[in-house]
Homo-oligomer: A and B are copies of this chain.
Amino acid sequence: MVENEILLKSLRGEKIERFPVWLMRQAGRYMSEYRRLRAKAGDFLDFCKNVELAVEASLLPLKLLDVDAIIIFSDILVPLEAIGVKVRFLEGEGPKLDWDGELGSLKDYDPEENGYVYEIIRQVKKAQSKVPVIGFAGAPFTLSSYMIEGASSREFRRTKLFMWERERHFFNLMETLTEVIFEYLSHQIEAGADVVQIFDSWTNYLSYGDYEYYVYPFIDELINRLKSNYDTPVIYFFKGSSSFFDLAASTSADALSVDWSVELSQACLRTDKALQGNLEPSVLYAAEEVIRHKTLQLLRSVPRSSRYVFNLGHGLAPDMEFDKVKLLVDTVKSFKL
């Protein structure tokens, strides 16, 4: 039980007096307090594995922004370490992954190798009972694309060639990852996560047909397995939301977290799922009156019958100003239903 149940109520469709708000990457570099913790931790992966510091980072947005949910501080790539993929974060370069492209070189997933993640959830739950805790994982496609590219990418050419030219291998990889992510999220739920979010951060690079054929069956299966084992709400975040909306809406996810390619009020009418999103993050680079105007415009557009959670259409960026993020959160909280 948490004091502030507004997020859970909104997801369940119960009456709320304002829309709940949390932000993707809310514990991040735009916060000086985060940067201080990060400096203490050393390497980024060490930070993710340092339970004490990761708990402190997770709690920062509750303390400093008074958001309606805590998403644990971690990284989507950590379960890949637990199947034998070497992951490094080089300063200013993003992640580097070593995988030879062969399924045979992966080891069986040992969920206990990610024990620190579950411990972070337990400790965040213990440290506060004010708001729900969101666990998360990368979606099978997003993780597979990191494994295949070996790094962040701007065009995902290797991933696409792998998908198209080594189709059977690709499907096997997606099946493996679906299983890994199911176990990983199950452990997060058992550790106390009140909600889980699955991140499909790169699907906007795919054609409609490729998403439907190569990606959808696995995300659908993953969410089905979660929902048939747990009551915990599942939020599915996917980029390219206007393209894949109807497919995503046909999964058993409780909520869809959408990017700014969809018009929110239209999207609300196209599904009876809860929706989350979809303010364009770069609005936060604009003047305060623009932030206020764009945020209120979005909130006013949501049909009153909809289950809705305010968020951005993608994560906060390191070069955003804390005060503007705070203004955003305060604006959402000031909007009464």
Contacts and interface: CB of A to CB of B under 8 A. Distances in A.
Interface residues of A, number: 32
B285 A157 contact: yes
Nearest to A290: B164
Interface in A262-288: 262-263, 266, 278, 280, 282-283, 285-287
A91 interface: no
B161 A285 contact: yes
Contacts of A285: 157, 160-161
Interface string A222-244: 00000000000000000010110
A242 B242 CA distance: 6
A293 to B, nearest CB: 8
A294 B240 CA distance: 21
Interface string A205-217: 0011110100000
Contacts of A313: 207
Contact of A208 (B208, B260, B290): B260
Contacts of A263: 208-209, 212
Contacts of A286: 160-161, 164-165
B282 A157 contact: yes
Contacts of A297: 209
A242 B208 contact: yes
Contacts of A280: 160, 207, 210
A112 interface: no
**Most B CB within 10 A of own CB, among A204, A207, A280, A297:** A207
A323 interface: no
B208 A261 contact: yes
A190 interface: no
Contacts of A155: 282
Contacts of A294: 164
A107 B276 CA distance: 46
A290 B207 CA distance: 15
Contacts of A282: 155, 157, 160
A312 to B, nearest CB: 11
A293 B294 CA distance: 44
- In order of increasing CB-CB distance, the 4 nearest A-B pairs are A207-B260, A242-B243, A243-B261, A208-B263
Interface of A: 154-155, 157, 160-161, 164-165, 204, 207-210, 212, 240, 242-243, 260-263, 266, 278, 280, 282-283, 285-287, 290, 294, 297, 313
Given A207-B280, A208-B261, 11 more contacts: A154-B154, A157-B282, A157-B285, A161-B285, A164-B286, A165-B286, A165-B290, A207-B278, A210-B280, A240-B261, A243-B262
14 contacts: A157-B285, A160-B286, A164-B286, A164-B294, A207-B261, A207-B278, A208-B260, A208-B266, A209-B260, A240-B242, A240-B261, A242-B261, A243-B261, A243-B262
